[in-house]
């Protein structure tokens, strides 16, 4: 019996867990139903993908969209618009908002705010604190909860669990993989005099490699004692990568495009405080160490750590300036440029941005192109050369550290559950974002 698909992606090169090749994809009711030669099949809509690569939808597992409470610099609508403009189909948003996402009510509020207002699908990290220990086992299993996030070092906001006992108490109460910001708070406090007023080049001197490595070592020791799984965010040092290579049984690892691309002191001399991040961008020795971790398979996922601030905030004098930069919209083009430069394969990029997140966090129905999975696709032109500009950035803050940077490889289309939400740089449909589902919380 002949079928009529809702949508067929036709003539593209599909990059998936089973290889790369010319294959069509048929979609019915937002779900992938057929992969192969569909040139003789009928569809309500055919998307011509000739000359393009069809990737599983890119999942960015670390973004800060600032809503509620900090909406002047970003909100769930504007942040998700930036995501789909850059080819990202789903995001995991962080808890350091105001109020903080630390309870069932604040999580539910974010889900309500995001439903059919965000342009991509979404999940929200729940902040682990000293005060919500008794609730964590329930909180991590609530709808749209990505898991528990813990700040062991102070960054943006007031979420902080700096003591080993506090971290151990959290890990002993949960079952899912928890995410950690690893900077040693005691060393940060002791080293504040290393900050040079007006000079952001001193930022990585204060938030040194020792600060990061000391905290990561502590975390792994606690994880082993509590028999817990941990996810170490935004690794910035060569020493951490070498250390974590020996602890992959308990720890998964994230790298970010800016720590793979920017380098000190150049970035601070060119961009000033616009390059200020926590943990910081470091020198080429550490950048190469992060690349080594990615090449050797230590890195499991890429996250943008999209953390926007307004120009007015970033243009204050260091160290009064907040740390953070935009990144969700540039994750795909920056990393595709690295693919074209031969630093990683397109298949490895897919593993880091779709298969990896699915594997680590137990995402249901996403992360690969297969029958029965959500029809989420990032469609890219690997030959397209474009210059990234501030004008292209959809984030409320309107700037990127890559302004003026030319890249080869560009997101052409973003498809979320069968709906084309971006095509050729234009939003092409209403916002229909829905909560990501997780296998451990179904």
Question: Which positions are annotated as active-site residues?
Answer: 305
Distance CA 32, CA 371 (A): 5
Non-local (6+) Cβ contacts of 32 within 8 A are: 25, 26, 369, 370, 371, 372, 373, 374, 375
Using CA atoms, how far residue 260 sits from 151, 238, 246, 292, 293, in Å, is 22, 12, 21, 10, 11
Q: HEC states along 387-422?
A: ECCHHHCCCCCCCCCCCCCEEEEEEEEEEECCEEEE
Helix (H) or strand (E) holding 110, with range, is helix 104-114
The candidate with the shortest Cα–Cα distance to 101, out of 129, 74, 73, is: 129
Q: How is the beta sheet containing 13-16 ordered, strand by strand?
A: 19-22, 13-16, 53-56, 377-387, 406-416, 419-423, 426-427
**Does an H or E element contain 261, and which?**
helix 257-261
Q: How many angstroms separate the CA atoms of 351 and 349, rounded?
A: 5
Cβ 120 vs Cβ 175: under 8 Å: no
Question: What's the helix, strand, coil split of the chain in %, to 5?
Answer: 30, 25, 40
């Amino acid at each position: 019996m002949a079928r009529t698909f809702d949508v067929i992606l036709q003539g593209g090169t599909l990059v998936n867990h089973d290889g790369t090749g010319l294959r069509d994809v048929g979609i019915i009711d937002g779900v992938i139903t057929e992969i192969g030669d569909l040139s003789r099949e009928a569809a309500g809509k055919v998307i011509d993908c000739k000359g393009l690569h069809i990737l599983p939808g890119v999942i960015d597992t670390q973004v800060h969209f600032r809503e509620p409470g900090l909406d002047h610099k970003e909100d769930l609508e504007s942040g998700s618009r930036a995501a789909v403009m850059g080819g990202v189909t789903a995001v995991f948003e962080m808890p350091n908002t105001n109020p903080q996402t630390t309870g069932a009510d604040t999580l539910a509020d974010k889900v309500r705010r995001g439903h059919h207002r965000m342009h991509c699908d979404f999940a929200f990290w729940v902040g682990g604190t000293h005060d919500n220990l008794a609730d964590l086992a329930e909180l991590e299993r609530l709808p749209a909860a990505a898991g528990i996030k813990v700040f062991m070092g102070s960054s943006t906001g007031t979420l902080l669990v700096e003591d080993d006992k506090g971290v151990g108490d959290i890990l002993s109460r949960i079952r899912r993989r928890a995410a950690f910001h690893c900077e040693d708070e005691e060393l940060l406090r002791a080293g504040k005099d290393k900050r040079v007023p007006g000079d952001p080049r001193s930022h990585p001197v204060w938030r040194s490699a020792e600060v990061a490595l000391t905290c990561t070592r502590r975390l792994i020791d606690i994880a082993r004692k509590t028999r817990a799984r941990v996810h170490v965010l935004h690794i910035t040092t060569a020493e951490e990568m070498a250390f974590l290579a020996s602890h992959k049984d308990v720890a998964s690892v994230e790298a970010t495009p800016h720590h793979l691309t920017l380098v000190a002191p150049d970035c601070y001399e060119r961009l000033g405080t616009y390059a200020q991040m926590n943990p910081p961008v470091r020198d080429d020795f550490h950048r190469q160490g992060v690349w080594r971790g990615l090449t050797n398979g230590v890195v499991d996922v890429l996250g943008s750590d999209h953390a926007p601030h307004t120009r007015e905030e970033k243009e204050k004098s260091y160290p009064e300036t907040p740390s953070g930069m935009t990144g969700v919209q540039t994750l795909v083009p920056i990393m595709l440029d690295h693919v074209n430069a031969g630093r990683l394969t397109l298949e490895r990029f897919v593993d880091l941005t779709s298969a990896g997140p699915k594997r680590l966090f137990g995402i249901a129905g996403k992360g690969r192109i297969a029958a029965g999975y959500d029809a989420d696709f990032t469609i890219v032109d690997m030959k397209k050369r474009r210059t990234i500009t501030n004008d292209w950035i959809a984030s409320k803050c309107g700037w990127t550290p890559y302004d003026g940077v030319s890249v080869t490889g560009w997101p052409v289309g973003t498809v979320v559950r069968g709906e084309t939400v971006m095509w050729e740089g234009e939003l092409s449909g209403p916002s229909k974002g829905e909560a990501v589902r997780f296998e451990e919380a179904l």
